């Protein structure tokens, strides 16, 4: 069965620090997608990124970057120069089965607090 583990439950940093959120997954599928979602205090989850297992290149989007390593089944998320607005719960997710990319299994989430 698909499994997503986010071992860190809460992280607190001071603004401008870099922070890495870890995600480890288990799947028997040979090809798959991985996702990160953000849940700000307003409540709704917001899609951040989708990554195909074929592509292990790091992805960068502004202050956000993602490091996908198939060998260690990890898909870590780094926020550079964190800001107070980054405070949220972050979820890593994996499709529940191959071919059903929208039926997502989410990790338990990491609560990130960025202090001024």
| 110 near another protein, judged by CB under 8 A | no
Size of the site for another protein (CB under 8 A): 25
| 36 near another protein, judged by CB under 8 A | no
Site string for another protein, 15-34 (x = CB under 8 A): ------------------x-
Query: For another protein, which residue of 11, 22, 74, 106 counts as binding (CB under 8 A)?
Result: 106
Please state whether 62 falls in left (phi above 0), alpha (psi between -120 and 50) or beta. left
Q: Which stretch binds another protein (CB under 8 A): 18-26, 61-69, 78-86, 102-110?
A: 102-110
Let me know: does 67 contact 75? Beta carbons within 8 Å: yes
| 83 near another protein, judged by CB under 8 A | no
Paired residues of 113 in beta bridges: 12
- Provide DSSP, 27-40: ---SS-EEEEEEE-
> Six-digit token pair at 116?
């001024």
**Residues at the contact surface with another protein, assessed by CB under 8 A:** 33, 35, 37, 42-47, 50, 91, 93, 95-96, 99-109
């Amino acid at each position: 069965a698909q499994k997503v583990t986010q071992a860190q439950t809460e992280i607190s940093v001071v603004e401008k620090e870099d922070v890495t959120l870890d995600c480890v997954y288990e799947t028997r599928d040979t090809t798959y997608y991985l996702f990160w979602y953000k849940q700000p205090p307003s409540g709704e989850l917001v899609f951040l990124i989708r990554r195909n297992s074929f592509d292990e290149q790091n992805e960068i989007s502004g202050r956000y970057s993602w490091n996908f390593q198939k060998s260690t089944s990890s898909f870590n998320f780094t926020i550079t120069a964190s800001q107070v607005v980054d405070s949220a719960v972050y979820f890593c997710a994996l499709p529940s089965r191959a071919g059903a990319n929208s039926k997502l299994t989410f990790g338990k989430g990491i609560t990130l607090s960025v202090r001024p």
